[in-house]
Amino acid sequence: MSAILPGWQSSGEIQLVDPDRAALVEQRHRQLSAFLKERKFDGLLLMRPCNFSWLTAGGDNTRGSSSDVTSALLITPEARVILSRNTDAGQIFDRQVGGLGFQLKERHWYEDRSILMLDVVRGRTVACDQPFERCPEVAPHLAGMRLPLGSSEIRTLRELGRIVSHAVEATARNFQQDDSEAEVAGQLAYRLIRHGVHPERIQVLADGQGHRYRHWSCGPNPIERTCVISAIGRQRGLHAGASRTVCFGHPSDDIRQPHLDCLLVQATGMFFSQRQWELYETWSRIERIYEKFGHSEEWHFADQGCVTGYELSEAPIVPRSQFRLTEGMPMIWQPSIGPAMTMDTMLIGAAGFEMITPMENWPQINVDVKGIMIPRPDVLIRRERPA
């Protein structure tokens, strides 16, 4: 058996440079350089993971996709520099931004990273994407740069959406009646992680749990009759989410009717998420559906979704929002009514929307919105265990 000598890489570890990604990084650096010149800043510190991922076209500056940020970026018109401790620098530089023209500035692991950042901003006018010392904060300006997505990002999002919906559906088809919510959540997390997708949010709501707690994650409760399984996954900085509903035996009316009404709200929201519309215009359509079917209070109990991207929620779907939708913006729609909840991810296109989390092998129902039939996921009926 041959050994890999220290300091050498196996062929599987060598990172090939994606020319499309490299071109995107260069383009975004030029965009930021123009912003710095216009605002008369000497540089820009990027600390938030969403902005790190955006500038690096998919890089990750967190430890194991957790909330622990390991590195920051200093952007000047001439350079882009990774600021990191020595324990994280190699992995960030080699695995996240290798071959993309970044420089590296590091300190020992036992020194606070803020000391390094203070060194690079001293004597300069440097902006930042979050509060830091006396640096001007420019987070809202950067948020406007992250959307809409470009063609290579949309390809990444499509693949992510297929992985997420497949993982949710495979979990829903294969778990056993009386498995706990936590066991099912673990099965779903495994299916995502094995494909390199970080489980940003997982919900397993057994037997009407969502009626009590709309943002329930999972617990030790056994799944006896019905279950809503939901996941939002993150890969290369982008997000996609999907949910599916399962019932052992034929679903009763108190489950099936809320589910159908949820699908109508969701399909309406998707249909009216049109480019150049402001979110309040879309909101007014779904609010009317809630009222028409006797659920006028339901939208008060939980969020309805968001425009997503490098930040999970780039813009929440709320009443009176003047956020303007444009082609190339992804949206997660997740209405809930009583025990029912449905979630999927769509992309606003030039002539309608594209489903990013498609059904793979799942029962469907067509929802009619203004004469357009929109396929939506029905309840999957599974055989009950023998008595």
pLDDT at residue 16, rounded to an integer: 67
pLDDT at residue 387, rounded to an integer: 66
The residue behind tokens 């982008």 is 238
User: Of 114, 146, 178, which one is at a domain's C-terminal end?
Assistant: 146
pLDDT at residue 17, rounded to an integer: 76
Domain of 54 in residue numbering reads as 13-146
Task: Quick: pLDDT tens for 233-247.
Answer: 999 999 999 999 999
The strand ranges marked E within the chain are: 43-46, 71-75, 80-85, 103-107, 126-128, 198-206, 226-235, 238-248, 305-307, 315-316, 330-333, 336-337, 340-341, 344-349, 352-355, 364-369, 372-377, 380-382
Contact in structure between 233 and 160 (CB atoms under 8 Å): yes
User: Of 93, 119, 146, which one is at a domain's C-terminal end?
Assistant: 146
Query: Which residues is 74 bridged to in the sheet?
Result: 45, 81
Q: What are phi and psi of 138, to 5 degrees?
A: -125, 25
Tokens encoding 306: 């968001």
Task: Quick: pLDDT tens for 102-111.
Answer: 999 999 988 8
Alpha helices in 40-150 (DSSP H): 49-55, 86-91, 113-121, 139-146
Residues 162 and 265 in one domain: yes
User: Of 94, 114, 146, which one is at a domain's C-terminal end?
Assistant: 146
Between strands 305-307 and 238-248, the pairing is unpaired
Q: Is residue 267 part of a domain?
A: yes
Residues 93 and 194 in one domain: no
Q: What are phi and psi of 98, to 5 degrees?
A: -55, 130
Query: From CA 178, how far away is CA 183, in angstroms rounded?
Result: 10
Between strands 80-85 and 103-107, the pairing is parallel
Provide the domain count of the chain: 2
pLDDT at residue 4, rounded to an integer: 42
Overall residue count recorded for the chain in this entry = 387
List the chain residues with pLDDT less than 70.
Answer: 1-16, 65-66, 387
Query: From CA 222, how far away is CA 119, in angstroms rounded?
Result: 54
CA 20 to chain centre: 22
Residues 41 and 142 in one domain: yes
